[in-house]
Amino acid sequence: MPSTLSQKSVESSNSEQSPVGKVEIAGDGGEFIIINNHKYYRHDLMAAFGGTLNPGAAPYPTFNINSAPVGLCGFALTTFVLSLYNAQAMGIKIPNVVVSLCCFYGGGVQFLAGMFEWLSGNTFGLTALTSYGAFWLSFATIYIDSFGIGAAYESTDQLGNAVGFFLLGWAIFTLMIFLTTLKSTVSFSSLFFFLFLTFLLLAGGELSGRVGVSRAGGVMGIITAFIAWWNALAGTATPLNSYVQPYSIPLPGNVLFGKAK
């Protein structure tokens, strides 16, 4: 008995190590595959190969992660802190502390969130998040001495107008983004409308030299920050993790430019 088992094991081992010769498909429905005169069920071999006999490229992975909320949170917090300075809350007029947020949260994290929107195929998210992330990074350089931007204007009175042009350009960009949200929700579209007003007032304050206009821009920025947080909450709160879920109100289909499709 032991010798018989040993002989069968050797024959089985030799059969497994022999090269694959002729391959045939048998059965009424092609359910069998014959390899080297050994019959196998097709579904057994398919399971061995992960579901297919073709060991080709695996399908591209799909992403079920929304990176927009973290980008909105970075934008909201940085906007909130800077807007408090612009509104001169508690008498604080020097905004240099916000540079850290501009670099790492509102700038770096938001920019990366936009890159992940690119991976998920969201053109709007890519355009908005990377652009505003770049805004915060570029805004921070004005207050970083090694860039020499502030030093270039020390002997002149042109810094206010230069910053005004900078903010005016972002107001125009934000108006463009706002126009692409007219078929979304009230909260989402409102975010970019109030942000447009914020940039417009801050630019006007810098260009006119009127502190009151800049402070109004700061107040508008605080409102914008809370709307951004609200949208971030709407993107993260689900029935599985929260009892509080913001209700999104869709905009009417005929707002300004035709009906929503």
Question: Bridge partners of 41?
Answer: 32
What are the tens digits of pLDDT across the range 201-215? 999 999 999 999 999
Q: Which residue has the tokens 């908005």?
A: 128
Q: Both tokens of residue 130?
A: 């990377």
> From CA 227, how far away is CA 239, in angstroms rounded?
21
What is the reported pLDDT for 2? 44
Residues in CB range of 204: below 8 A, 6 or more apart: 164, 210, 213, 217
pLDDT band at 248 (very low <50, low <70, confident <90, very high): confident
CA atoms within 13 A on the CB side of 152: 13
Closest CA to 210 of 202, 222, 218, 198: 202
> From CA 140, how far away is CA 79, in angstroms rounded?
13
Q: Which residue has the higher pLDDT, 167 or 56?
A: 167
What are the tens digits of pLDDT across the range 77-104? 999 999 999 999 999 988 889 999 999 9
Q: Both tokens of residue 72?
A: 């909105």
pLDDT band at 257 (very low <50, low <70, confident <90, very high): low
Residue 34 phi/psi, 5° resolution?
-105, 120
Q: Which residue has the higher pLDDT, 20 or 137?
A: 137
pTM above 0.95, yes or no: no
What is the reported pLDDT for 103? 97
> From CA 135, how far away is CA 75, in angstroms rounded?
10
